[in-house]
């Protein structure tokens, strides 16, 4: 399971860059990293892949977006859709916000859409699983900077959802 290990390492490296507002424990970063585990990543990945092929604009893609929205909502994040239409495609991105104390915004993102022939576990379900896992853990803390967790669509059809 090298992709899952890579996701855990990437999530850990990402979390090291966030400093909580309150530093009551000198080992807070290690504590945050330790909360991301393989079971969490496997749950998010298996759940996302269960929607099947998530080609941009399809019912499966919309259903996956709704599930992702609900996951972020269950973490008490501020969640919204960012709808887009371009190049004959129409879809929406899911944006979840963890408000910070200043005007700086850090974006953590991955794309959820797939090519027409694959359920997209590696491209890029594993990335979405990492974003959800990081959001789940970081949502338990307060940070100086605002963090936006964005799950894009349209990447497989020309990165339209990433605009």
How far apart are alpha carbons 51 and 59 in whole angstroms? 9
pLDDT digits (tens, 9 = 90+) for 72-108: 999 999 999 999 988 888 899 999 999 999 999 999 9
Q: Please state the pTM of the whole predicted model.
A: 0.84
Residue 52 lies in a domain: yes
Residue 52: other Cβ atoms inside 10 A: 16
pLDDT confidence tier of residue 8, bands split at 50, 70 and 90: low
Domain count, the chain: 1
Residue 163 lies in a domain: no
* Domain encompassing residue 69: 2-158
Supply the DSSP string of 97-116, one letter for each residue.
Answer: EE--SSS-EEEEEEE----T
């Amino acid at each position: 399971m090298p992709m899952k290990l890579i996701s855990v390492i990437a999530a850990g490296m990402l979390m090291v860059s966030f400093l909580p507002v309150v530093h009551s424990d000198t080992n807070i970063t290690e504590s945050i990293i330790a909360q991301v585990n393989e079971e969490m990543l496997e749950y998010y990945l298996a759940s996302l892949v269960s929607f099947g092929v998530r080609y941009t604009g399809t019912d499966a893609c919309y259903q996956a977006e709704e599930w992702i929205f609900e996951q972020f909502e269950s973490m008490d994040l501020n969640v919204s859709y960012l709808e887009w239409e371009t190049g004959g495609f129409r879809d929406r991105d899911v944006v979840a916000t963890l408000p910070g104390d200043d005007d700086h915004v850090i974006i953590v993102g991955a794309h959820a859409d797939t090519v027409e022939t694959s359920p997209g576990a590696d491209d890029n379900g594993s990335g979405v699983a990492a974003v959800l896992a990081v959001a789940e853990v970081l949502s338990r803390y307060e940070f100086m900077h605002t963090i936006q967790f964005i799950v894009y669509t349209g990447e497989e059809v020309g990165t339209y959802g990433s605009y």
